[in-house]
Amino acid sequence: MSSEEKKAFLLLKKVIFQYHGLDEDEQQILDETVAELDAAKESKWADEFISEDYYDAFDRARNYLNSVMNGLDKKVRIFFLESVCDANNQKGYISEMEAIAMITFARDWDIENEFIEIIKR
């Protein structure tokens, strides 16, 4: 995964987890992801992106991610969103706000039908 892809993936995961406030389980999952990807620099970038304006972070992330994701293969877009969904399941729940946010990204990235099928499994 390139540095740009790591940035996009971590921003996606962080903005979804922080949609309702970040709890300890979510922070642990994020820390594990950063370690697995060897992406400390990209994680710091995503944190700074979100902290620029926490209340507007989702909309800004959506604009940024739309520009990045539309240049990636459909399988990669699906993988990114499925990975975030799996991480939410790992913590034991998906809030309604998180689910809506993921479906919004799926719609933006033209993978809504595929993502709905993933959720059904």
Chain segment 25-67, per-residue pLDDT in tens: 888 999 999 999 999 999 999 999 999 988 899 999 999 999 9
Beta strands in 19-119 (DSSP E): none
Question: How far apart are alpha carbons 83 and 37 in whole angstroms?
Answer: 13
Tokens read off for 118? 């993933």
pLDDT digits (tens, 9 = 90+) for 74-112: 999 999 999 999 998 888 888 888 889 999 999 999 999
Tokens read off for 20? 């309702």
> What is the pTM assigned to this prediction?
0.91
Is residue 57 within 8 A of residue 21, CB to CB? The reply is no
Which residues does 35 contact at the CB level (< 8 Å), separation at least 6?
none
Beta strands in 38-83 (DSSP E): none
One-letter identity of residue 92: G
